[in-house]
Amino acid sequence: MCRAGFLAGCLLPLCVLAGWGLVRRTPSHVGQHERDLAQSLGLHVSLAAVDHPRPAVVRYAGIVLSDPETGAIVARCERAELRAPVLADQASQLDLSGVAVEAVALPDLHALLGRMLRLAHNADQWQMAIAARDVTVRDATATHSFTSVRGTIRAAAAGSEAKIELAPADAAGAPAAGADDAAPTLRVVRHRESGASTGGLELHTGPWHVPCAWLFALSGDLPGLAASRFQGSLWANEDQAGWHLAVRGRLAGVELGDLVARPFAHRWQGLADVHIRSAHVDDRRLSEAELEIAGGPGRIGGSLVAAATASLGCGSGYPRAPDDQAITYRQLAATVRIDQQGQLVITGQCPGTPGTILTASDGKPLVIQPRQQPQPVLNVVHALVGTDTPLVPATPLTAQLLRVLPLPQTGTVGDGVGSRRQR
């Protein structure tokens, strides 16, 4: 009787628990977690191990997230621990360590964040806290390190919100100077309004310069800016008319050839920094902007100088050079203002030579600000295309520019065949 009681009350439960512990370490148990996570995340998930150290806690090791169609690696994580809340008003906690992200896959992570917000959007009250240590983001030119990344995802009756704070590391892996004072912050929200969902986004970089290539995940392609860096703030808000974007900050290391010359068969070799005092974009079209541009030295093609003279009315202190000649310049400095009526004002700011936009290698004016201002911003398209007609040729590049530049409320825009009225 005592032996039977010992077997039933002690040994049998111990064997059941040991057997269940072994089952939870089998490939089939790991595979079930992989499938469950893949369904939730929308990505292919590979796990090296799964462990349950205590109730409501699960640990993962050797995590690999990849694109389910291409198989491209999105991110790797050495270890992760997920703790479910014990009380209803507590947050779930996700701790990560040893995280490596491929910059080209940031759009996938942005989509994952949106997916999590949509899932949270369906919950009345829910929250999760995320803490990651030793995070790296690798792009084509460098590996960027962060000592920590912290985030929260909350859901309420009015909508859902995600907030992420980054702590950049210096070259030695320690927290970068000033990281605690103004940590780069990303905030994404989804609102519930009359049965429809709208969104919003805020990005504040603090003193840190974000590679513009990373912003592709937030805004899509940014032609000519992929190699530059952004420092500042942007705000985006969605309503029934589309997205509205406001930007203030600086672009550093803008490659002028990639931005304005090479797509239009001109030559321009040089870098510039752009101070964005303010810029507003409504439904993907620039509505107004105030910029300060500074750069040099560099080399500019004679065709582009001639186009600035012919299409923008700029002056020059030199005779016209052959179109294929590369002209060395010492300095580029100008302010640019574009208003909601599609009017453009360019003011030369090179010191010592009032009104000069570009100074030649000898310091004399190479390009002088337009004589007549303001003028239609469409003249910039004419200058880039290099046409002598009042009509803008219909090409994919000009169509792209016309889609993003502010157009006059009434006026004629050539399409290469005829003209049409803009209203």
Residue 327 contacts residue 300 (beta carbons within 8 Å): yes
Helices (H), 135-293: 216-219, 256
Neighbours of 215 (CB within 10 A): 20
Do 349 and 292 form a contact (C-beta atoms < 8 A)?
Answer: yes
Q: 222 with 196: CB under 8 angstroms?
A: no
Q: What is the pLDDT along the chain (423 residues), one digit of tens a residue?
A: 444 443 334 433 433 333 334 444 556 778 899 999 998 888 999 999 999 888 889 999 999 999 999 999 999 999 999 998 876 677 889 999 999 998 888 888 888 887 777 766 555 667 889 999 999 998 877 888 999 999 998 877 677 888 999 988 865 445 555 545 578 999 888 876 655 667 888 999 998 898 888 876 666 566 678 788 999 999 988 887 788 999 999 999 999 988 886 778 788 999 999 999 999 999 888 999 999 999 999 999 999 999 999 999 999 988 888 888 999 999 999 999 999 999 999 999 999 888 999 999 999 999 999 999 999 998 888 888 866 556 666 677 777 778 888 877 654 443 332 233 333
Q: What is the pTM of this model?
A: 0.81
227 burial class (0-12, 13-18, 19+ CB within 10 angstroms)? middle
CA–CA separation, 420 vs 330, rounded Å? 42
Structure-block tokens of residue 70: 């291409």
Q: What are phi and psi of 291, to 5 degrees?
A: -130, 150
126-138 and 92-102: which strand pairing? parallel
370 closest CA partner among 352, 397, 343, 391: 343
Residue type, 381: V
